[in-house]
Amino acid sequence: MKSPSANTKLNQWVQESAAMCQPDDICWCDGSVEEYNRFMAQMVASGMAIPLKKRPNSFLFRSDPSDVARVEDRTYISTPTKLEAGPTNNWIDPGELKATMRGFYKGCMRGRTMYVIPFSMGPIGSPLAKIGIEITDSPYVVCNMHIMTRVGTRVLDALGQDGEFIPCLHSIGAPLEKGRKDTAWPCAPIEQKYISHFPQENLIWSYGSGYGGNALLGKKCLALRIASAVARREGWMAEHMLILRLTNPEGRRFHIAAAFPSACGKTNLAMINPTIAGWKAECIGDDISWMKIGPDGRLYAINPESGFFGVAPGTSYNSNRSAMDSIKANTIFTNCALTDDGDIWWEGFDGKPPAHAIDWKGRDWTPASKSDAAHPNARFTAPAKQCPVISPDWEKLEGVPIDIFIFGGRRASVVPLVHEAYNWDHGVFMGSTAASETTAANIGAVGNLRRDPFAMTPFCGYNMGDYFQHWFAMGDKLGAKAPRIFYVNWFRKSPAGKWLWPGYSENSRVLKWMCDRVGGKVGARETPIGLLPLEGELDLTGLSIPAQDFAELMRVDVPAFKAEVPDMEKHFNRFGDRLPARLSAQLKLLVQRLG
pLDDT tens digits, one per residue of 238-276: 999 999 999 999 999 999 999 998 778 899 999 999 999
Nearest to 133 by CA among 14, 238, 49, 20: 14
**pLDDT of 492 over the 60 cut:** yes
Check whether 412 has a pLDDT greater than 50.
yes
Q: Is the model's pLDDT at 118 over the cut of 90?
A: yes
Give the pairing of strands 113-121 and 25-28: parallel
Please write the tens of the pLDDT for every residue from 209-218.
999 999 999 9
pLDDT at 17: 98
Share of the chain above pLDDT 90, in %: 95
Angle separating helix axes 558-573 and 581-594, nearest 10 degrees: 160
Catalytic machinery residues: 264
Report, as an integer, the average pLDDT of 397-426. 97
Query: Which one, of 572, 275, 332, lies nearest residue 428 by Cα?
Result: 572
DSSP string, 389-435: TB-TTTT-TT-EE--EEEEE---SSSS-SEEE-SSHHHHHHHHHT-E
CB 5, CB 131: distance < 8 Å: no
- Residue 43 in contact with residue 186, Cβ under 8 Å? no
The model's pLDDT over 539-592, given as tens digits with 9 standing for 90+, comes to: 999 999 999 999 999 999 999 999 999 999 999 999 999 999 999 999 999 999
Q: CA 453 to CA 406: how far, in whole Å?
A: 12
Residue 3: Cβ within 10 Å count: 14
pLDDT digits (tens, 9 = 90+) for 34-59: 999 999 999 999 999 999 999 999 99
The answer to whether 206 and 170 have CB atoms below 8 angstroms apart is yes
Strand partners, 118: 133
Query: What pLDDT is recorded for position 447?
Result: 58
Residue 594 to residue 488: CA distance in whole angstroms: 19
Containing H/E element for 296?
none
Residue whose C-alpha is closest to residue 259's, from 488, 571, 561? 488
Instruction: Tell me the DSSP string of 486-532.
Output: EEE-TT-B-TTS-BSS--GGGGHHHHHHHHHHHTT---EEEETTEEE
Find all residues with CB under 8 Å of 108, minimum gap 6, and list them: 21, 22, 137, 171, 173, 174, 175, 207
Which pLDDT score, from 0 to 100, does residue 444 have?
46
- pLDDT of 117 above 50: yes
Q: Give the chain's domains with CATH numbers.
A: 8-30+66-234 (3.40.449.10), 238-303+394-594 (3.90.228.20), 308-386 (2.170.8.10)
pLDDT tens-digit profile of 430-480? 999 999 987 544 444 545 899 999 999 999 999 999 999 999 999 999 999
Tens digits of residue pLDDT in 146-184: 999 999 999 999 999 999 999 999 999 999 998 889 999
Q: End-to-end CA distance of the chain, in Å?
A: 71
* Helix, strand, coil percent values for the chain (each to nearest 5): 30, 20, 45
| Mean of per-residue pLDDT scores for the chain | 96
Is residue 197 a contact partner of residue 76, using CB atoms and an 8 Å limit? yes
Long-range contacts, stretch 186-194, CB < 8 angstroms, 24+ apart? 186/64, 186/210, 187/63, 187/64, 187/66, 187/67, 187/211, 188/104, 189/66, 190/66, 190/71, 190/74, 192/104, 193/67, 193/71, 193/74, 194/74, 194/76, 194/97, 194/100, 194/101, 194/104
Q: Name residues whose C-beta falls within 8 Å of residue 62's C-beta, 6 or more positions apart in sequence.
A: 184, 185, 334, 335, 360, 361, 362
Q: How far is CA 538 from the centre of its chain?
A: 30
Residue-level pLDDT at 1: 81
pTM: 0.97
Residue 441 has a pLDDT of: 44
Q: 475 CB contacts (<8 Å, ≥6 apart)? A: 424, 425, 428, 482
Q: In DSSP terms, which residues pair with 135 in a beta bridge?
A: 116, 169
Confidence of residue 372 (pLDDT cuts 50, 70, 90): very high
